[in-house]
Amino acid sequence: MAEPVKRQHGGIVLIGFMGTGKTAVGWRLARGLGIPFVDTDALIEKKAAARIPEIFEQRGESGFRTIEKAVIRGLADGVRRVVATGGGAVLDPDNFAVLRSLGSVIHLNAPAETVLARTRGDSGIRPLLAGNDPLDRIRSLQRERAPVYGRADHEIDTSRHTIEETVEMVKAWVESEERVIRVDLGSDSYDIVIGPDVLDRLGHRMTSFDLTGRALVVTHPGIAQRYGGRTTDALRSAGFEPDVVEVPDGEAQKSLPWAGKLYDAMLAHRMDRRSPVIALGGGVIGDLAGFAAATFMRGIPFIQVPTSLLAQVDASVGGKVAVDHPRGKNLIGAFYQPLLVLASLDTLDSLPDRELRAGMAEVIKYGVIADPGLFAYIEGRLDDILKRDRGVLAHLVARSCEIKADVVAGDEREQGRRAILNFGHTMGHAIETQTGMLHGEAVAIGMVYAARVAERMDLLDGESVRRLTELLRRTGLPHRCDGLDVPATIETMKFDKKSVGGRPRFILPSRIGEVAVRDDVPAEYIRSVLAAGN
């Protein structure tokens, strides 16, 4: 069995029987989306330097399937594309796993009679149709393959539509698709729902939980102005009675005094142990509202509705909630999982450019710690990302959440592997505390500095440091911090919550896609890297 492949939303894979229009639809679809198109049969012929009938004749069907499997495995390279497969490609479970990892799987279907009409006379180039009764052969193969084709995300009968209509139907379905990622934590498991306009279905989704009617929405004034009405309407339509607390913008509000104000609001609204708190906003709101929910009446239900890229890909997932202390970020907090995370992609449309770029620091982080394909995808699609292409952003949010969900499921309370999620954060948090810059901006600098430390320790090659630095630069993120108070920054790192015995722990990359936790970093390397940025 091949190694499991993580799903990378963003691409489109067309599966189905021969003659259903996969190649014709795929080519036009890719052209309309501005992304590459590949036909696996064409790739097989190129790899074998022979036409498909010749491959069957010389190597048999098993030889053909071996080449096909190698070709499909090669598509798992992080590039977003439209893929049209051969009719039998999905019968191999490993092939199906790889194809599903590439994005949405669409089954193009057609009745046997339509397939025969479209392929009549093609037996010379379609070996599986050779014989005296091709219609019976088509029906037999369709029955055999139906259970596998039925595992697709969506199905379209192409006998009822023109090629152009089918293309538009595929595009419409992909653009409206909700992606659900499960964070598997036993009794504390929950879903991350990602999609356009999913905010409007918040109340409906909440009805599946055992909740009472009174709810508290915690948000920022600007977010309340844009999305507060939609949120309260969605809650009221499902029978909830929402109250809204607006917290002024800024990290300074992530404090015990503001937690106290939320407790007051919960008491005034007569909330009980089954009354939900909804965090509508970015990371500060999620941390503050989650901390209040975790500590009010020893814990009440909590739902994350992140509206920033940083919150959607990182802060809202994993159950870390906290407030700050004057001597460090997130020093007072808990592990407290939400009931649900609802990432409505349309909220990214109004996000200021600076905050979008800051959120990209966390996405790039996931590429460095776990997925070189994601890193390469960002390098290749950065212009589309900064233009807020909805499909590309959906892919980034979903893949980032998948990586974090996988890490959190294996180490909920950061006793081991979960620490890798802090790549760039040890120095980044200290820089953020010292300078007041945005979290993502400080993490970007922290990642570069951690990579330089890794290079000095002969763990990482210089080319990888260059790629990381260049990608951050192209994204519009800082990669150095001039004027930094080095002694004060080092002192702040001693109070980092990841420190053990006063020794900071660093997440250091060994290559793009792999990192390790180290507590043996020489102090002079830290000082020299911090000083070099001045």
- Domain spans of the chain? 11-176, 179-351, 406-532
Structure tokens belonging to residue 391: 């499909």
Each residue's pLDDT, cut to its tens digit, for the chain (534 residues) gives: 333 344 444 689 999 998 999 999 999 999 888 889 999 999 999 999 999 889 988 999 899 999 999 999 999 887 889 999 999 999 999 999 899 888 889 999 999 899 888 887 554 455 556 567 788 888 888 889 888 988 888 889 999 899 999 999 888 787 767 888 889 999 999 999 998 889 999 999 999 999 999 999 999 999 999 999 999 999 999 999 999 999 999 889 999 999 999 999 999 999 999 999 999 999 999 999 999 999 999 999 999 999 999 999 999 999 999 999 888 788 899 999 999 999 999 999 999 999 999 999 999 999 999 988 889 889 988 998 999 987 788 889 988 998 999 999 988 877 788 899 999 999 998 898 888 899 999 999 999 999 999 999 999 999 999 999 999 999 999 999 988 888 888 888 877 656 666 677 899 999 999 999 998 899 899 999 998 865
* Per-residue pLDDT, 493: 84
What one-character DSSP code corresponds to residue 4? P
Do 176 and 196 meet the contact criterion of CB atoms below 8 Å apart? yes
Residue keyed to tokens 């052969």:
137
Looking at the annotation, which residues are catalytic? Answer: 298, 320, 362, 404, 414, 418, 422, 425, 429, 439
Interatomic CA distance for residues 166 and 159, integer angstroms: 10
b (16+ CB within 10 A) / e for 336-348: bbbbbbbbbbbbb
Predicted TM-score (pTM) of the model is 0.72
For every residue of 85-126, which 3-state class applies, written as one string? CCCCHHHCHHHHHHHHHCEEEEEEECCHHHHHHHHCCCCCCC
Structure tokens belonging to residue 378: 């960002």
Do 348 and 198 meet the contact criterion of CB atoms below 8 Å apart? no
* Per-residue pLDDT, 320: 92
3-state class (DSSP) for residue 11: strand
Same fold, 11-176 and 179-351: yes
Structure tokens belonging to residue 366: 């996931």
Do 341 and 302 meet the contact criterion of CB atoms below 8 Å apart? no
Dump the DSSP string for 292-354: HHHHGGG---EEEEE-SHHIIIIITSS-EEEEEETTEEEEEEEE---SEEEEEGGGGGGS-HH
* Per-residue pLDDT, 76: 86
Q: Count CB atoms within 10 A of the CB of residue 322.
A: 20
Interatomic CA distance for residues 23 and 423, integer angstroms: 42
Alpha helices in 219-279 (DSSP H): 221-223, 229-237, 256-268
Interatomic CA distance for residues 278 and 305, integer angstroms: 7
* Per-residue pLDDT, 131: 61
Phi, psi dihedral angles at 192 (to 5 degrees): -105, 115
Q: Count CB atoms within 10 A of the CB of residue 375.
A: 24
Interatomic CA distance for residues 336 and 299, integer angstroms: 8
Q: Using DSSP, how many helices (H) and how many strands (E) does the chain show?
A: 21, 16
Residue keyed to tokens 């979008």:
356
* Per-residue pLDDT, 416: 81
135-139: long-range pairs with CB below 8 Å, 24+ = 138/17, 138/112, 139/112
Interatomic CA distance for residues 268 and 407, integer angstroms: 38
* Per-residue pLDDT, 128: 57
Question: Domain 11-176 is of which CATH architecture?
Answer: 3-Layer(aba) Sandwich (3.40)
* Per-residue pLDDT, 498: 62
Determine which helix (DSSP H) or strand (DSSP E) holds 281, and give its type and residue range: strand 277-281
- Beta strands, E only, 421-483: none
| Record: fold of 406-532 | Dehydroquinate synthase-like, alpha domain (1.20.1090)
Alpha helices in 387-438 (DSSP H): 390-410, 425-435
Which residues is 343 bridged to in the sheet?
194
Dump the DSSP string for 150-219: TTSSEEEEGGGS-HHHHHHHHHHHHHH--EEEEE--GGG-EEEEEETTGGGGHHHHHTTS---SEEEEEE
| Record: fold of 179-351 | Rossmann fold (3.40.50)
